[in-house]
Amino acid sequence: MSDNTRLTPAIRFKGYTNAWVQRKLGEVCDVRDGTHDSPKYHKTGHPLVTSKNLTDRGLDMSDVSFISDEDFESINKRSKVDIGDIIFGMIGTIGKPVMLDRCNFAIKNVALIKNGGEVINNFLLQLLKSTSFGLYIQSENAGNTQKFLGLSKIREYSFAAPSLPEQTDIGNFFRTLDDAITLCQRKLDGLRELKRGYLQLMFPKSGERVPRVRFAGFSGEWQERKLGEVAEFSKGSGYSKSDLTDDGTPIILYGRLYTKYETTIEDVDTFVVPKHKSVFSCGGEVIVPSSGETAEDISRASVVSKKGIILGGDLNIVRADSTINPAFLAITISNGNQQKELTKRAQGKSVVHLNNSDLIKVMLQLPIFPEQTVIGNFFRTLDIQITDQAEKTEQLKQLKAAYLQKMFV
């Protein structure tokens, strides 16, 4: 394979044919690092950014420490940040490159890259998010309990770069894609925040019997009932991830409820070959995990909307009587006072358990059935919007990941 072929990406914009040129980061950019000292923190002062403040979405200053004017000036003598610079973590969490749209802060245990004129930072930012740099981090990081990537290794990072005009086109393309991802993510965050707000308003507060927000036509106090008085309980049958097949009978494993949580489960994309004494859904069951890593993981419930789905082991199955709307029950178990009660009842350390005997004791606050139904349908619609938006966001992220692999050498 010739160098020209090797240094040519799979996808290029029209008009570009020349081979990319191999460069070293330290030769084309001014690469520095922040302080490795531990300055004294204050309640106010200048922000000190570390790797914890670097995210896939950019710089997160919601949890930042503050240092004095003296320490700020001392750090800035070595590594003053400017708008347009790129920073990324080099100790602990390595990577998460961010191009700065603000300054007036200091950095600690963070690499700082200043443009040297030969590589455009919009292009370089995407390169540092690519698989190539990720593999370099994995191969070169050191340390046992705490990983780190030395400044010399960062400077030695070798990469291929095209001409400045091609860099500009690539950088602008990914910036547009990033803007679209950010917009989708903001819409998703807004929907999730909207749901959290409605959950607080549409269910009574602790010690109260009436919610602050209700649908028109409903009034009166909600009634308190013990879950064991209005439902029957059973368990799912034992299956594990190793039992999954490409096709067969759909199955819900307990992990789905905290990795892909939905109030109402309608579509299942995991399958198994049925075993003897498998437990099948009839439609309308409320399922609650009986084990998980944390109490919060298992203090949630979903409705299984369709019949014929296998309910795997480590699932508590709740079949409510005709006075309870299943979607409303799943929502009320998963939020507010009921979720807090379940969290307290969950037991264990490395693995947390929650049994039907715990669920039986949970106290519910219930409006009349029609109001339950309206509330359940409202949140089901909101969940569908959240799921759709999450899928759009994930599709854009996957599209970007594919382009990163194809448009860089």
Whether the predicted model's global pTM rises above the 0.85 cut: no
pLDDT given for residue 144 in this prediction: 62
Distance CA 59, CA 100 (A): 8
**Structural tokens at position 219:** 């009034």
pLDDT given for residue 346 in this prediction: 76
Distance CA 361, CA 321 (A): 16
Fold held by 21-161:
Adenine-n6-DNA-methyltransferase TaqI; Chain A, domain 2 (3.90.220)
319 sits in which H/E element:
strand 315-320
Domains in the chain: boundaries:
21-161, 162-217+369-409, 223-366
Q: In this structure, are residues 110 and 90 in contact, taking their beta carbons and an 8 Å threshold?
A: yes
Instruction: Give me the chain's average pLDDT, please.
Output: 90
Average pLDDT over residues 117-122: 92
**Banded model confidence at residue 348, pLDDT cuts 50, 70, 90:** confident
**DSSP line for 242-276:** GG-BSSSEEEE-TTHHHHS--SEE-----EEPPPT
Distance CA 128, CA 97 (A): 7
Distance CA 28, CA 10 (A): 24
pLDDT given for residue 143 in this prediction: 63
Class of domain 223-366: alpha beta
Distance of CA 123 to the CA centre of its chain: 26
Q: What is the pLDDT of residues 381-395, one digit of tens each?
A: 999 999 999 999 999
Compare 293 and 222 and report the one with higher pLDDT.
Answer: 222
Q: What is the pLDDT of residues 235-291, one digit of tens each?
A: 999 898 899 999 999 999 988 888 888 889 988 999 999 998 899 999 999 999 888
Q: What is the pLDDT of residues 123-170, one digit of tens each?
A: 999 999 988 898 898 888 766 666 788 899 999 999 999 999 999 999
Sequence length of the chain is 409
Q: What is the pLDDT of residues 25-61, one digit of tens each?
A: 999 999 999 888 889 999 999 999 999 999 988 899 9
**Structural tokens at position 240:** 């594990």
CATH superfamily of 162-217+369-409: Bipartite methylase S protein (1.10.287.1120)
pLDDT given for residue 337 in this prediction: 79
pLDDT given for residue 207 in this prediction: 86
Q: In this structure, are residues 380 and 373 in contact, taking their beta carbons and an 8 Å threshold?
A: no
Is the predicted pLDDT of residue 92 greater than 90, yes or no?
A: no
Instruction: Check if 21-161 and 162-217+369-409 are the same fold.
Output: no
pLDDT given for residue 1 in this prediction: 39
